Amino acid sequence: MKAQLITVLLFIGMNQANAQDGWLRYTPKSGDSLKADHVNLDYKTTKGKVTLHQDSRLDKLSEFVRSGENTVEGVKIDGYRIVIFFDQDRTVVAQQKANFLARYSGYKAYVDYVAPNYRVRVGNFRTQLEAEGFKAELLAYFPTSVVVADKIQLPVLPAE
């Protein structure tokens, strides 16, 4: 019984090992125009030619996407900002912005209007973790601070 089991396993193993021999061979289908029964795939052939057929509207779309690069704010990307204060009175909001900039001059502050309130948003953070870390620092002075997803300016790279 053991001899029969070993013989069957040996036969299956040899069959599987033999199946790996022709892995670089391509058997053409009936509709293919190749004459030979099998074709060896050779990856060391000369370079081919690629022709690109592109819709003319793609150039206009690319120009539209790039049009923001020349604006005052520049290109915007997905990121996070911290809303530190909001109120209906614009002068109170401007005072809070000035208060923030006096304490943290290394960060930018933005005032915008979302009916019925003006709000002060600060920072240009790429990750929510960065924004949450700075928010923990701000909570002593601005207890209503909250991190929000926003379009931010590209961070300034340090000069080398």
149 domain residue, yes or no: yes
- Cβ contacts of 25 within 8 Å, gap of 6 or more: 38, 39, 40, 41
116 domain residue, yes or no: yes
Query: 21 or 86, which is more confident?
Result: 86
98 domain residue, yes or no: yes
3 domain residue, yes or no: no
What is the count of structural domains for the chain?
A: 1
Structure tokens at 70: 């020349």
The answer for 123, left when phi > 0, alpha when psi is -120 to 50, beta otherwise, is: left
**Domain span at 126:** 75-153
59 vs 69: CA distance, rounded Å: 16
146 domain residue, yes or no: yes
Eight-state DSSP code of residue 70: G
Average pLDDT of the segment spanning 49-74: 74
Q: Give the H or E element holding residue 34.
A: none
20 vs 108: CA distance, rounded Å: 63
101 domain residue, yes or no: yes
85 domain residue, yes or no: yes
Question: Would you say residue 72 has pLDDT above 90?
Answer: no
Query: 11 or 152, which is more confident?
Result: 152
113 domain residue, yes or no: yes
Q: According to the model, what pLDDT value does residue 20 have?
A: 54
Structure tokens at 121: 């948003």
Which amino acid appears at position 108 of this protein? K
- CATH number of the domain at 107, please: 3.30.70.1070
Average pLDDT of the segment spanning 143-147: 94
